[in-house]
Homo-oligomer: A and B are copies of this chain.
Amino acid sequence: MSAYDRLDAKLRHIHALESISGLLEWDEQTLLPADSADQRQNQSAALAQVIHQAQADPEIGTLLDELETQNPEPETQNSADSIGPIIRDARKTYDRATRLPSSFVERHARLCSEAYHAWAKAREEDDFPSYAPYLQQHLDLAKERAEHLGWGDRPYDLQIELHDPGIDTETVDRLFTQLKTDLAPLAQEILSIPSKTAPDLFTGFPIDRQESFLKEVTTSLGFNYKRGRIDTSLHPFCAGNGADTRMTTRFDEDNPLDSLFSSIHETGHGLYEQGLPLDSLHNALGTAAGMGVHESQSRIWENQVCRSRTFWNHYEPKFRVAFPQRLASVSSEDLYQAINAVSRNPIRVDSDEVTYNLHIIIRFETERKLFSGELAIADLPAYWNAQYEELLDIHPTSNAQGVLQDVHWSGGAFGYFPSYTLGNMLAAQLWYAAQAQLPSLDADIGNGNFAPLLDWLRKKIHRHGARYHLLELTEKATGQTLSPTHLLRYLRERYLA
């Protein structure tokens, strides 16, 4: 067996174990009996240990040394060659697995578990000080990780890189500053239009019909239910991979749009996973390019496609067939307004696509200042609230409604938030590129034919896996560098036209 074949077998083994880990997490959030979490923790810990051993297998190091000699310059991100990106990503995983001491991995896992429970309790009791020490430990561990991995002088860059390879703080800062300059006044302008608030129209939508309607929609978008499922969980998510994609949604009889748009959002993630090359899920060619690219795929379907008038011209009659009595008194315009409502909401996950990115910009600036030392953990609540006041004219009435609202930091996931807005920017940029390249795109969507857009995304984004990073992919797909102008244009057209 060649060195490449031996590496390939090891990567397949690691990927199989990692995909099991994903299934354990999915099961935990969908089906796990109430009192069985203790065993799930033991299972996840045992599997994490086994995965780390497999990733740090010294033979992988030897094989990589050999392959890197045979294939010089595997570091070149632009390499069109297949083996280059595979070796590059395998090297990254191997180096990270071997450079992080197992004592660090254990401390981090323990802190994640403790901090999660501390966060949940602090949020419930609106008690930031009880959570602050865990945040401090996570910040310290993130800096320690950066030391181990050779990023000691720029730990926040590493945090961003962990979620979006190829992106750094300076790039995010430049893009977000441009975006914020125009978005802050635009959001205020849209928020001042009274008709943009959500009408209170929806009660008593039977859940079984919500479920069959969203299955009809997500199937027509292209989700392959022969290699996937949709179940329910407290918070919607998409787990698994293209070989077995597990989405979730949640149902509320009085909020049918929530389950529908949650499932459309997760379908966007699922379509990306299902569009990655199935025979390469274990290496860079079948791996997502990062969280930002992933989010662009969920958002383009959720927002640009499925909140559009064109989409609802096709689906409104079907929606009315599914709920004839419930929608009898709802006008078409009311329905469209409800789908595109905008409001001042202190909670990021409940906010609309206009204000959402301001929530993210606040988080990015907060994280950057935490890592630079400009902001102390103890001063977080005051800083947070001041930012919300300035940018969004929102005055959180509690820390539970403010700095305690997100789960991310309890898992040490600093640097994750920027991906959401990078994804929103890319989604809008892809949308206009697709419109330019597919003259019948609007007509197709109006006919419920989503295959042309999906095929375009498959060709421009999905099939490349992690071969290119977000900025490279953006240029290749749209012919332009990543820019917030497309998102701003889209928001103006959608909300001010």
Contact = CB atoms under 8 A, between A and B. Distances in A.
Interface of A: 12-13, 16-17, 19-20, 23-24, 27, 31-36, 38-40, 42-43, 45-47, 49-50, 54, 224-229, 241, 243-244
Counting chain B CB atoms within 10 Å of each CB, which of A17, A33, A224, A226 scores highest? A33
A107 to B, nearest CB: 18
A241 B31 CA distance: 15
Contact of A227 (B12, B33, B46, B228): B33
A224 B228 CA distance: 30
Contacts of A228: 33, 36
A274 B72 CA distance: 58
30 contacts: A13-B46, A13-B49, A16-B39, A16-B42, A16-B43, A16-B46, A16-B47, A19-B39, A20-B20, A20-B43, A20-B46, A20-B47, A23-B24, A23-B27, A27-B27, A33-B225, A33-B226, A33-B227, A33-B228, A35-B224, A35-B226, A35-B227, A36-B226, A36-B227, A36-B243, A36-B244, A38-B243, A39-B243, A39-B244, A50-B54
A16 B42 CA distance: 6
A20 B16 contact: no
A37 to B, nearest CB: 9
The complex is assembled from copies of this chain, and their number is 2
A142 B20 CA distance: 30
A199 to B, nearest CB: 34
A309 B39 CA distance: 40
A420 to B, nearest CB: 28
A211 to B, nearest CB: 15
A50 B17 contact: yes
Contacts of A241: 39
Contacts of A43: 16-17, 19-20, 23
Shortest beta-carbon contacts, A-B, top 7: A16-B46, A39-B243, A36-B244, A35-B226, A16-B42, A34-B226, A35-B227
A328 to B, nearest CB: 28
B20 A24 contact: yes
Contacts of A42: 12, 16
A20 B35 CA distance: 17
Nearest to A47: B20
Nearest to A54: B50
Contacts of A227: 33, 35-36
Nearest to A17: B46
A43 to B, nearest CB: 5
Contacts of A32: 244
Given A24-B23, A27-B23, A27-B27, A244 B16 contact: no
Contacts of A47: 16-17, 20
A202 B60 CA distance: 62
Given A36-B244, A39-B244, 15 more contacts: A13-B49, A16-B45, A16-B46, A17-B47, A19-B39, A20-B43, A20-B46, A23-B24, A32-B244, A33-B229, A34-B226, A35-B226, A36-B226, A39-B243, A50-B50
